[in-house]
Amino acid sequence: MMKRFILLLLLLSLSFAGVSCPEVTASTILNSELLPDIGPTIAVVFMLTILIIVFAYAGGQLLENQNMTIFAKDELYHLLFSAAMLAAIGGILAFSCVISSGLMDFSLKGTGAAQFSCYSSSSNVFDIASCFMNRVKTDADWIAGNALKKSIEKQQEAVSTVSIYFPMIGGTTTSYVAYKRTYAMMYDLLYTSFLAPLLMSITLQAQLIDFMKIFGPGVLFPLAFLLRVFPATRSMGNILIGLGIGLVTIFPIMYALNASMYETVFKSCDGMEDITDDTVLGSCGFPGSFFDIAKLIPQAFFLPNLTLAVFITFLSAMNRALRVIG
């Protein structure tokens, strides 16, 4: 029953082949720009597999060896399924994209994120995710740079001195703003303990989205279909196919949803003045305040872990599904 249901989904996905998220077809996989020789290699492997199947079946019939006959039939099924999946990969991704992007559209419109320029119903999900993450990165860059600048300024101001001199009796020199050294230490602590790790994490995430946009269709899918032909590496091929589908659908959509929270859920600090106002960093709404720093923390640490957990769950489910049907 499970096999029939999954095969029905596979066939149903062909009707959505006109949708791209991003567009990945058998042609783009076989003519990968990052792996220019992958297409001929896959073709040669397919032909060699067909020869092995023919010889195994002929040998089984000639020698009346049931093991060879069963091996030939099993490999023929897997080969045909791999070819069908390769031909239908555009529809499979489109079907996944229709479901996932529908959830994203509903969520973004529900939270009000659809009013921002990053969102467009016709945009690629990677573009939407990259746009939102770059907005977060821009704020993180400014806040980290401002904290470092303020630390240096306060240290310079703290060494200012005033000298008073009276003839005959002498004078004294004192630093009237020595307390600003404490402010400098606070900015330095914020930068080294919070802002530098935040900025590193957010920058890596923004770059990862752009990298996956190329890496998924250009490298993962070609290698996945090549590995799937060999019995010894078929399981690895299934994992890479699931990984590729997740990277071009679940991965960018989760990032788009997570990053959109930065401009919607954490839009205002009204009502939080008691915990956000500070003598050094300023009050609620002041650029670079505690609130501005605090709302970067989920984007840097908590939400990526959530995305990873969802992605691993999806990958595990895809791997089990592919093992069930072939």
CB atoms closer than 10 angstroms to residue 154 = 21
Using 50, 70 and 90 to split pLDDT, how confident is the model at 15? very low
Residue range 35-42: mean pLDDT, rounded: 78
> Region 186-207: what's the mean pLDDT?
88
Confidence of residue 300 (pLDDT cuts 50, 70, 90): confident
Pick the range with the lowest mean pLDDT from 18-22, 169-173, 205-209, 232-236: 18-22
Count the Cβ atoms, other than its own, within 10 Å of residue 6: 15
Residues 247 and 216 sit within 8 Å (Cβ to Cβ)? yes
Query: Which residues sit opposite 162 in a β-bridge?
Result: 174
CA distances from 9 to 80, 88, 251 (A): 17, 11, 21
Between the alpha carbon of residue 284 and those of residues 12, 271, 273, the distances in Å are 52, 9, 6
Six token digits for residue 133: 């993450």
Q: For the chain, what percent of residues have pLDDT higher than 70?
A: 76
pLDDT bin (cut points 50, 70, 90) of residue 12 is very low
Distance CA 173, CA 52 (A): 93
Of 114-128, 141-155, 229-243, the range with the lowest mean pLDDT is 114-128
Report pLDDT for 19: 32
The pLDDT score that the predictor gives to residue 14 is 42
> What pLDDT does residue 129 have?
80
Q: How do residues 74-132 score in pLDDT, each as one tens digit?
A: 888 888 888 888 877 777 777 777 776 666 666 666 666 555 667 665 567 777 788 88
Pair of tokens at residue 181: 């050294």
What is the structure's pLDDT at 113?
58
Least confident among 148-162, 236-250, 272-286, 310-324:
272-286
Return all residues near 219 (Cβ < 8 A) that are at least 6 apart: 32, 34, 35
Chain mean position to CA 254: 8
Instruction: Please report, rounded to a whole number, the percentage of residues in the chain having pLDDT higher than 90.
Output: 1
Higher pLDDT, 251 or 171: 251
What's the whole-number average pLDDT of the chain? 76
Neighbour tally for 274: CB within 10 Å: 7
State pTM to two decimals.
0.72
Query: Nearest CA to 191 among 156, 136, 141?
Result: 141
Region 34-40: mean pLDDT is 76
Kindly report the length of the chain. 326
CB 132 within 8 A of CB 262: yes
Average pLDDT over residues 240-256: 82
Domain ranges of the chain: 96-325
Give the three-state DSSP class for 171: strand
